[in-house]
Amino acid sequence: MTAPAFDGSESFFLAADKVQVKYEMLRAHVVDGVPVAKAASAYGYSRAAFYLVAAAFAERGMQGLVDQRRGRRGPTKLTQPVVAFLAAADPTASGAVLAVAVERRFGVRLHRRTIERARRR
């Protein structure tokens, strides 16, 4: 990063604070009129990343500058209807038996251990 604000001379600016870096990058372009490519490069981002940051900021404000958790956001097969079905099922039925029932009813193939864990919750 080559941005002068983050060179270490000012204690207010912390290069490890990604939200602050992103905000200052956007500010440099909007307020100071620095071209997108130059602002992005100075703050350690690509031009494409600049536009993603700008879109996130426009959509959600400061919250948009916070990095999102990577990966899946939750179970894809263990949906609410499947969980309700498992909760209403016979408590003595095994995970394997319920796996077959879930596949027949919902068309979703679940491992018996997934079902057993879901029923304990």
**Tokens 């440099």 — which residue?**
28
pLDDT at position 40: 96
* pLDDT digits 0-9 by tens, 30-51: 999 999 999 999 999 999 999 9
Whole-number Cα distances in Å, 105 to 41, 101, 102: 54, 6, 5
| Rounded CA separation 46/76 (Å) | 32
pLDDT at position 75: 75
Q: Which residues of the chain have pLDDT under 70?
A: none
pLDDT at position 71: 81
Whole-model pTM: value is: 0.59
| Rounded CA separation 5/8 (Å) | 8
| Rounded CA separation 29/87 (Å) | 54
